[in-house]
A and B are shown apart, each in its own frame.
Chain A
Amino acid sequence: MSLGTLVWRELLERKAQMLTVAFGIILGITTLIAIRTISFYSEKAVARELDSLGANVLVLPKSVSLQDYYAADMHDEVIPEEYVMRLTMSDLQGVDNLSPKLCVPVTIDERRYSLTGILPKSEFQAKAAWAGAGIFSRPIGCGAIDVGEPALEDDKKSLVRKRVIKDLAADEVLVGADVAARQGLKEGDSLTLLDKAFTVVAVLPETGTVDDSRFFAHLHTVQELAGTGEVVNCIEIVGCCKEIAAGLVEGVNTLLPDAKVVTVKQVVDTQITLNRLMERLSQIFLAIIVLVGGAGIANAISANVTERKREIGTLMALGAESGLIQRIFLSKALLLGLVGGVGGYALGTILAVTLGPKLAGVPVLPMPSLVLWALAVSVGVALAASFIPAWRASRLDPVATFRET
């Protein structure tokens, strides 16, 4: 009888016990894989979002939580649009650009998208020069100057990079890359949103962010269509480094005491805190798997050895070496570890892919590289937990086992 047959028979001998042990391992690995996969894609999405984000200060309604940055402009809370003018006309130093936003849901062909109202620069730019005599001596911006040349043909596409465009007519709409692909939209096409006819003036380049799933139209048009009044969900501010360090945020806070002013650094810090929490949670689960799973396996194998002392003694009396006995139990643990690892990876990945977008608000894809990690953890724990019972089995005295029974 070969080792494989012996191990297989051994596994089938106590089906319920083996299934319970395998289920325990699978459950632990599932949790680990799901947390790791969601954390990975969440971190990646934040990094990508921040890379593409020109803005570094956000003005939000007081009640909006920073826990979910992606929802910063997708909530029901609003602030008055007049805040834009207050910022523009203030003597704050280091405000390079402003981008107010108002998001409302729209449905096309039973698909939900976000219609985001944006304010073109032409609506407020000139007011920056209303700040009075000191305007020539204070730092106003930190980006390239606008020399008043006519907007380039692809100027509107720069929205994804610069966060603001120069002009946008009331019936013009910019379309995110995903929306354009799904709806088959291209420049020059017409479409109806909230019962108003729009012309697609630009399909925006893919950014890999939520902007890909948005329509962008003039803020005042969106306000009118949605009946929200003169409000916005958030104002993005492109601030200059030096002035942010020198108190730009405090200045905005003083100017707009009824709003929440946060920097991207704070957003990043919040995300880092969240990721650390997930990482710690993951470590706690790992410890639980090692302790509980390992103890369970050790207990099961140990009980198995005790129950089957007579069979072990018979095998040894027939000439089986202690190494073979040890290999039988270790192979059994190895198989349990393999099943737990593969099963846990598969279930964890399915959970992450289906629940991730709902929990973290980011698209989540399978991570094949985690298969090896899952196998290493589950097999490692199973083998380590089985080692002592297997060693004990290999050290049994056949005569003593017959005497005891």
Chain B
Amino acid sequence: MLVRSFAFLAVAGAVWTAGSVARLASAADAGTASAAASPGLAAIARAADRHRYAYVVFWKVDGEPTQRTRAAVDAAMETLRDKADAVSVCVAAPEEKATVDAFKVARAPMPLVLAVAPNGAVTKAWPADFQPATAAEGIVSAGMAACLKPLQDEKLVLLTVHNANTASAGPALEAAAGFLADSRFAASAAGVEIDPADPNEAKFLADLKVSPTVDQPVTVLLAPPGKPVATFTGAVTTAQIIAAVTDAKNGCCPDGKCGPGECCPGGKCGPTQKPSAKGVSK
């Protein structure tokens, strides 16, 4: 499996991997000190440091549902013992405020189980009903986790799928770099690369409708929370990517929104009616 961040994102990626506590605390507007003092965040960070998932059980009242869920998570950890650690967080405990704020789960149905990847992405949530048989659904490929994290941070993701067997990915990577350097999108977009031949990524690629035997580089533009907006096969330009974003941003209801009176509240319909850039499928 090959997961590589673009060069200028590598430093940020390294910071992510190394400092889960600081990362989550920042998201929660909590200070690093309070985050470090939060047992939940600290446990998640310890798991991340060992490249393991954290299965976090958030609970409010230590009643039967909570005990049953904790027992189910413990049972699931038996089968995931080489991949994940269980973490228990009482949302009512003052010392866990940073953890609760980081995940914004104060108003969530309890007990809630979250699978947190080593990079900080929440890969699966089980509100109120966790079954050990479904625990493995929280373990996703590194490529998917790398995409989920920026998506959960409300960022666009530009995913480039390529390897030694595909034609030169140079133009696609240059276009992606150009897009990520554009002042309009620099702060709200992230780049991810994956190897189509990596068997771990097969399911992710299938979801994205990208063939693992593709002979051309494929660039997929993903919008939060996980919507593939455009797929470019072969060479692509920065202008084409920006055009796809602009289309999607202004467009609406390609499948027909049922808003009474008008299909599209913005009055601008829609990307499917506009001529698409060459080689772009939506």
Interface positions of A (Cβ within 8 A of B)? 50-56, 80-82, 84-86, 89, 96, 123-137, 139-149, 161-162, 220, 230, 238-244, 264, 268
Contacts of A264 in B (CB 8 A): 258, 260
Instruction: Please judge, given known A-B contacts A56-B258, A56-B259, A137-B207, whether A240 and B154 are in contact too, CB under 8 Å.
Output: no
What's the minimum C-beta distance from A87 to chain B, rounded to whole angstroms? 10
Contacts of A123 in B (CB 8 A): 104
Q: Is the CB of B257 within 8 A of A129?
A: no
- Quick check: which of B9-17, B40-48, B74-82, B107-115 contacts chain A, the rest being far away? B107-115
Q: How far is the CA of A127 from the CA of B225 in the complex (A)?
A: 8
Q: List 6 A-B contacts (CB under 8 A).
A: A52-B261, A82-B110, A130-B114, A135-B225, A148-B156, A240-B257
Contacts of A84 in B (CB 8 A): 107
Q: Is the CB of B253 within 8 A of A143?
A: yes
Q: How far is the CA of A244 from the CA of B207 in the complex (A)?
A: 22
Question: Is B255's CB within 8 Å of the partner chain A?
Answer: yes
Q: For residue A148, which residue of chain B has the nearest CB?
A: B188
Q: For residue B227, which residue of chain A has the nearest CB?
A: A140
Q: Is the CB of A140 within 8 A of B226?
A: yes
Q: Is the CB of A239 within 8 A of B258?
A: yes
B259 CB contact (under 8 Å) in A53, A148, A220: A53
- A-B contact sample (7 more), CB < 8 A, given A50-B260, A54-B259, A242-B255: A80-B109, A85-B107, A136-B204, A140-B226, A144-B248, A145-B249, A238-B257
Contacts of A161 in B (CB 8 A): 265-266
Contacts of B229 in A (CB 8 A): 145
Which of B203, B224, B254 gathers most chain A CB within 10 Å? Answer: B224
What's the minimum C-beta distance from B108 to chain A, rounded to whole angstroms? 5
Q: Is the CB of B249 within 8 A of A144?
A: yes
Instruction: Please judge, given known A-B contacts A130-B125, A147-B188, A147-B223, whether A240 and B260 are in contact too, CB under 8 Å.
Output: no
Instruction: Please judge, given known A-B contacts A130-B114, A142-B254, A148-B188, whether A135 and B107 are in contact too, CB under 8 Å.
Output: no
Contacts of A240 in B (CB 8 A): 253, 255-258
What's the minimum C-beta distance from A68 to chain B, rounded to whole angstroms? 18
Which of B147, B208, B254 gathers most chain A CB within 10 Å? Answer: B254
Q: How far is the CA of A145 from the CA of B259 in the complex (A)?
A: 17
Question: Is B228's CB within 8 Å of the partner chain A?
Answer: yes
Contacts of B245 in A (CB 8 A): 147
Contacts of A128 in B (CB 8 A): 224-226
Instruction: Please judge, given known A-B contacts A132-B123, A133-B123, A142-B255, whether A147 and B249 are in contact too, CB under 8 Å.
Output: yes
Q: Is the CB of A86 within 8 A of B127?
A: yes
Task: Give the top 8 A-B pairs by smallest Cβ distance, nearest first.
Answer: A148-B188, A51-B261, A128-B225, A129-B225, A135-B226, A241-B256, A130-B125, A137-B207
Q: How far is the CA of A80 from the CA of B109 in the complex (A)?
A: 9
What's the minimum C-beta distance from A106 to chain B, rounded to whole angstroms? 23
What's the minimum C-beta distance from B173 to chain A, rounded to whole angstroms? 21
Q: For residue A119, which residue of chain B has the nearest CB?
A: B107
Question: Is B251's CB within 8 Å of the partner chain A?
Answer: yes
Q: How far is the CA of A243 from the CA of B252 in the complex (A)?
A: 15
Q: Is the CB of B266 within 8 A of A144?
A: yes
What's the minimum C-beta distance from B182 to chain A, rounded to whole angstroms? 11
Instruction: Please judge, given known A-B contacts A51-B262, A240-B256, A264-B258, whether A86 and B225 are in contact too, CB under 8 Å.
Output: no
A126 CB contact (under 8 Å) in B107, B147, B154, B203: B154
Question: Is B185's CB within 8 Å of the partner chain A?
Answer: yes
What's the minimum C-beta distance from A386 to chain B, rounded to whole angstroms? 49
| CB 8 Å contact bits of B209-233 with A (1 = contact, 0 = none) | 0000000000000111111110000
Q: Is the CB of B252 within 8 A of A230?
A: no
Q: Is the CB of B188 within 8 A of A144?
A: no
- Quick check: which of B136-144, B162-170, B191-199 contacts chain A, the rest being far away? B136-144
Question: Is B148's CB within 8 Å of the partner chain A?
Answer: yes
Q: For residue A223, which residue of chain B has the nearest CB?
A: B107
Q: Is the CB of B207 within 8 A of A145?
A: no
Which of A52, A125, A127 gathers most chain B CB within 10 Å? Answer: A127
Q: How far is the CA of A77 from the CA of B260 in the complex (A)?
A: 26
Question: Is B70's CB within 8 Å of the partner chain A?
Answer: no
What's the minimum C-beta distance from B24 to chain A, rounded to whole angstroms? 13
Q: How far is the CA of A119 from the CA of B147 in the complex (A)?
A: 26
Q: How far is the CA of A124 from the CA of B251 in the complex (A)?
A: 23
Q: How far is the CA of A142 from the CA of B184 in the complex (A)?
A: 24
Q: How far is the CA of A253 from the CA of B257 in the complex (A)?
A: 20
Q: For residue A160, which residue of chain B has the nearest CB?
A: B265
Instruction: Please judge, given known A-B contacts A123-B104, A126-B153, whether A139 and B255 are in contact too, CB under 8 Å.
Output: yes
Q: Is the CB of B122 within 8 A of A130?
A: yes
Which of A56, A127, A145, A220 gathers most chain B CB within 10 Å? Answer: A145
Question: Is B124's CB within 8 Å of the partner chain A?
Answer: yes
What's the minimum C-beta distance from A405 to chain B, rounded to whole angstroms? 72
Q: Is the CB of A130 within 8 A of B224?
A: no
Q: For residue B209, which residue of chain A has the nearest CB?
A: A137
Q: Is the CB of B223 within 8 A of A146?
A: yes
Q: Is the CB of A129 within 8 A of B122?
A: yes
Question: Is B281's CB within 8 Å of the partner chain A?
Answer: no
Question: Is B155's CB within 8 Å of the partner chain A?
Answer: yes
Contacts of B250 in A (CB 8 A): 144
